[in-house]
Amino acid sequence: MKTFRIATYNVNSIRSRLHIVIPWLRENRPDVLCMQETKVSDAEFPLPPFEEIGYHVAYRGDKRYNGVAVASLEKPASVHFGLDDAGPPDGDRLIRAVYSGITVLNSYVPQGRDRETEHFVYKLEWYKRLKLLLEKKYSVSNPLIWCGDLNVAPESIDVHDPKRLLGHVCFNPEVWDAFASVKAWGLTDIFRKHYPGVPDQYTFFDYRVPKSVDRKLGWRIDHILATPALAEKSIGCSIDLKPRLSDKPSDHTILLAEYSMMEDIKKMDEKMAITNINKSIERKFSSIEKGIASSKDPRELYETLLLLTSEEFEIPYIWFSFVDNPDTGDWMKQLESSELLSSRLNSVETSVLEGLIKNDLKPRLANDNLRPFYTLLPKNSKYFLKSLAVAPIVLNSTVIGSLNFGDSDSRRYSPDMDTTLLCGLAEKFSSILSDMLTAGKQE
């Protein structure tokens, strides 16, 4: 994909506007079309016409009010509806979906009705809730687009008569501040990036105003905003007035934006995914270290280590073997008395491991033959494991490495996996075991 094209359109009833939407999609073929005010229940959404021209659709709506939908050439990697807090979810006002690594937030912000009503208060609160959602769920360093009917004309040039219209629920200082606060999270107005200071550019024309389009009596309240990674790649943004001039139109028209060099965006998204993986691995190691620190004896220490490692990395089988050491003595027998530990002592269940291998990749284990490693860590202690090996760590169907106590050779791991975490856990384990055995001898 060399470019990514996304459009937004308040259809004001999707069933009444199919004669505009479907031909427009067929002619323009955007990657994504975000729609608002679909005004239809999910059971009655007109899905077949979209499918016939090759579009997937995610939608959520009610019979009479609100309603949002996203049509896309690519099936979304994930879809979520509504805000994620203790307030009303408003699933029929917000769709959050991911396409080609780009998060798209399609929203129909409450209009507000009148500044003296609770509806306007709810509108201002909605902006606050959306910003909290962005701060909680997303990162400004990731590619993200916020678009839709945002019910705000943020500048005086965004309305045809700013003096007369000042104070309207979509054009007043309170709503400007609310919108600016969300934008300050790290979003760029893509249309204004390409047309700074240009007046008479509108996406909404009131039905009640005769020949409003010809007379340029409109509002710019439909927007496409993007995080810096995408804003830099924006190569165009335009208002298409043809839908508003069509037979039986919506009172809004279509806003379209295009982004170039999507391969760069994809690489950036993959890099961020690796960063998130590494953070996840760090948390898992930290959890295991905390878990083994509370062990009371060697048997519990080993059992806890095996169970926590299996749980944190979601792997079904772990084995281990001991350093040949004359001081093992009684505690070796103690470990063998554990059904869990004895079943895994000096054993390798290759069939289980092989079943986890994805995409014809081999696990990075023991010279590719699944035998435990023999590198000793830490070297200053006589009580340590020869090797504790686990099934390969598989994330997103890709083997990124394996966990092996006693192995400091970074060549056995994905370059994105920091082996110091593994070495640190091995040292922690050895230190706890050494303290236990020393205390046992003193007793």
Q: Kindly report, residue by residue over 207-240, the tens digit of the pLDDT.
A: 999 999 999 999 999 999 999 989 999 999 999 9
Record the tokens describing residue 156, joined without a space. 């005086």
Mean pLDDT along residues 270-291: 73
Percent of the chain with pLDDT over 70: 69
The whole-number pLDDT of residue 159 equals 98
Q: Report the mean per-residue pLDDT for the chain.
A: 80
Between CA 300 and CA 145 the distance in angstroms is: 50
Which pLDDT band holds residue 364 (cuts at 50, 70, 90)?
Answer: very low
**Neighbour-count burial for 9-40, b at 16+ CB within 10 Å, e otherwise:** bbbbebeebeebbbebbeeeebbbbbbbbbbb
Record the tokens describing residue 385, joined without a space. 């494991």
pLDDT at 42 > cutoff 80: yes
Between CA 41 and CA 110 the distance in angstroms is: 19
Q: Tens of pLDDT along 120-171?
A: 999 999 999 999 999 988 989 889 999 999 999 999 999 999 999 999 999 9
The whole-number pLDDT of residue 431 equals 75
Record the tokens describing residue 413, joined without a space. 């791991």
Mean pLDDT along residues 89-94: 95
Candidate list 55, 59, 99, 108, residue with the active-site label: 108
Which pLDDT band holds residue 382 (cuts at 50, 70, 90)?
Answer: very low
Which pLDDT band holds residue 323 (cuts at 50, 70, 90)?
Answer: very low
> What's CA 191's distance to the chain center, in Å?
25
Between CA 365 and CA 213 the distance in angstroms is: 68
Active site residue 149: yes
Between CA 191 and CA 201 the distance in angstroms is: 10
pLDDT at 261 > cutoff 90: no
Which pLDDT band holds residue 380 (cuts at 50, 70, 90)?
Answer: very low
Which pLDDT band holds residue 348 (cuts at 50, 70, 90)?
Answer: very low
Amino acid residing at 288? I
Which pLDDT band holds residue 79 (cuts at 50, 70, 90)?
Answer: very high
Mean pLDDT along residues 183-212: 97
Candidate list 90, 92, 149, 158, residue with the active-site label: 149
Active site residue 108: yes
The whole-number pLDDT of residue 265 equals 64
The whole-number pLDDT of residue 111 equals 96
The answer to whether residues 251 and 241 touch, using CB atoms and an 8 Å cutoff, is: no
The whole-number pLDDT of residue 396 equals 43
Please work out, in degrees rounded to the nearest 5, the angle formed at the alpha carbon of residue 76 by the alpha carbons of 75 and 78.
145
The answer to whether residues 319 and 372 touch, using CB atoms and an 8 Å cutoff, is: yes
Between CA 148 and CA 223 the distance in angstroms is: 6
The answer to whether residues 171 and 250 touch, using CB atoms and an 8 Å cutoff, is: no
Mean pLDDT along residues 9-37: 97
Pick the CATH number of 3-260 from 3.90.25.10, 1.10.760.10, 3.60.10.10, 3.40.50.10490: 3.60.10.10
The whole-number pLDDT of residue 186 equals 97
The whole-number pLDDT of residue 254 equals 98
The whole-number pLDDT of residue 343 equals 63
Which pLDDT band holds residue 362 (cuts at 50, 70, 90)?
Answer: very low
**Cis status of the peptide bond prior to 378, with omega within 30 of 0:** yes
The whole-number pLDDT of residue 277 equals 60
pLDDT at 37 > cutoff 90: yes
Write a three-state SS string for 117-140: CHHHHHHHHHHHHHHHHHHHHCCC
pLDDT at 425 > cutoff 70: yes
- Of the ranges 126-140, 174-188, 386-400, which one carries the lowest mean pLDDT score? 386-400
